[in-house]
Structure 1
Amino acid sequence: MNPPTAPTVLITGATQGLGRGIALYLAARGCTVLLHGRDPERLEATAEEVRATARHATVRTFLADLADLDQVRALADRVRATEPRLDALVNNAVAGGGAEPLRRELSAQGHELRFAVNHLAPYVLTRSLLPLLTASAPARVVNVASIGQERIDFDDVMLEEGYEGLRAYCRSKLAMIMATFELAAELQGTGVTVNTLHPAHLMDTRGVREYGLTPAVAIEEGVRPTVRLVMDPDLARTTGRYFNRFTDARAHEQAYDADARGRLMALTDGLVGAGTGRPAAH
């Protein structure tokens, strides 16, 4: 099946920063943009901004807090119920290092917050949307990761000892990359590709500033490499890759450890519960 002239793209974390920039870029190029956010006022304001900037764009909004896996599943249910197709999913929503990096926070299900928002939520959302993505194939999943990656300690995945927000963030982003590689291999032949990238270094985002870092580049520097993975026809068959901006690059070494990836996915499937894990082997 050939993709439509106006692809439909769901962007999580679309009310600010990189997500907002991606939405504006895609809407201006005729895409139907599905905006996700957790704050209803910011979500509607972003939708109005996108509509005002790209007057002929189709924009729809979806409200959910990705720190609650029940809301993640409900979000996927709403998308599947209302959208006839989904050509791309951009898992962009993020919990950064935090303004109080020594304060360990938990998700609604009691998981370490950064691991939950940056890894478990996009994993559950992607799995829950696979029926729609495969029905819309060729389709793409783009996971927005980071060059900041730290080895996962399977004896303390939730960082109960020596907690620090940026460490938790870096571990969660490596988990996202490892899950990308696993999903890409699983989905070979379905027409759904799964790739991940570091979009840009220290973009001017609220998360960067909250942690106390000095932004180095504008949001637009991260938009271009991300939308390339969404739209570039030359990447239509590329899957299971990590990009450092535009360059096909090497992620943290643990991402290429098949045993570590297997441990992570078994742990992940256990944490997210029945109904969203990998299909049983036949």
Structure 2
Amino acid sequence: MNPRTAPTVLITGATQGLGRGIALDLAAKGHAVLLHGRDPARLAAVAGEVRSAVPRATVRTYLADLADLDQVRTMTDRILAAEPRLDALVNNAVAGGGAEPLRREVSAQGHELRFAVNHLAPHALTRALLPLLTASAPARVVNVASIGQEPIDFDDVMFEEGYEGLRAYCRSKLAMIMATFELAAELDGTGVTVNTLHPAHLMDTRGVREYGLTPVTGIEEGVRPTVRLVVDPELAHTTGRYFDRFTDARAHEQAYDTAARGRLVALTDALVGGSTGPNTE
């Protein structure tokens, strides 16, 4: 493998579960992998695991807690300063339903945690990396969403009333899908595609187990459809789509409501671009 010509992919949430599996698979396919994680020890361990499995692989690591937009910005600055190209971004990191689903948690900026980690952080990361992605085009953005989707309540976006962790997760994943459709339309013709998918049903991940659900599929079942969106040449021009594993599918109806998508984009831009103090909306 020639690291100067290897396509480069950034994978968020790469220290365990699906992200780790994607990293190992793409490294074996000849990609240079940029691994993101929030725990230094786990990040170093998975980097070592990839290097051991694929001795000639190019592996670099980036540390950030996606529950803090300031850390997202700092990581992005490091990536832009260090990386000459970026052929794909896989937004995989996730906050699941939680071990205490009735306990509402917030991010460093005071936003509801699932909305912050699953939607605001990948939105901020992707937009900040767009200059590098477009300069590297053809390039791809893959957003790992879920078949679990619940409409966003714009009167209570931060879910301050009747909170429940899995429902918050489902709202945040629909927000990710809606943002995918909006960004794909914006980037049409630039050579950067943006797609999203439900990788597999109830994979054997820590998040699934923490919530008290029983896993029904292995991690590898989610790796294959996700990696396909990164590498399949037949999807080179496919953009703005939601896939249920390998099937081009239809997301929740709110994802096709252009007015709702516009409201979400305006709100997201305000939250991501605004002050780092607690949200009071």
TM-score, normalised via structure 2 length: 0.96
Q: Distance in 2 between matches of 1:133 and 1:188?
A: 13
Correspondence list, 1:1-282, <5 A: 6-273=6-273
Q: Distance in 1 between matches of 2:210 and 2:134?
A: 38
Please give the secondary structure, in 1, of the residue aligned with 2:177. helix
Deviation at 1:57, TM superposition (A): 0.4
Any idea what the Cα deviations from partners look like across 1:162-214, whole Å, max 9, x if unmatched?
00000000000000000000000000111100000000000000000000000
Give the equivalent residue in structure 1 for 2:278. none
Work out the percentage of aligned pairs sharing the same amino acid.
85
After the TM superposition, which of the residue ranges 266-275 and 54-63 deviates more from structure 2? 266-275
Amino acid at match of 2:157: V
The alignment yields a C-alpha RMSD, in angstroms, of 1.0
Q: Distance in 2 between matches of 1:273 and 1:30?
A: 36
Q: Distance in 2 between matches of 1:221 and 1:253?
A: 26
Deviation at 1:21, TM superposition (A): 0.1
Deviation at 1:247, TM superposition (A): 0.2
Q: Distance in 1 between matches of 2:99 and 2:266?
A: 32
Q: Distance in 2 between matches of 1:76 and 1:229?
A: 23
Amino acid at match of 1:86: L
Deviation at 1:5, TM superposition (A): 5.0
Q: Distance in 1 between matches of 2:246 and 2:29?
A: 20
Unmatched tracts of structure 2, length 5 or more: 276-281
Q: Distance in 2 between matches of 1:272 and 1:54?
A: 37
Any idea what the Cα deviations from partners look like across 1:53-89, whole Å, max 9, x if unmatched?
0111000000000000011111111111000000000
Unmatched tracts of structure 1, length 5 or more: 276-282
Please give the secondary structure, in 2, of the residue aligned with 1:193. strand
Deviation at 1:274, TM superposition (A): 5.3
Q: Distance in 1 between matches of 2:239 and 2:248?
A: 11
Q: Distance in 1 between matches of 2:35 and 2:10?
A: 6
Runs of at least 4 residues off by over 4 Å: none
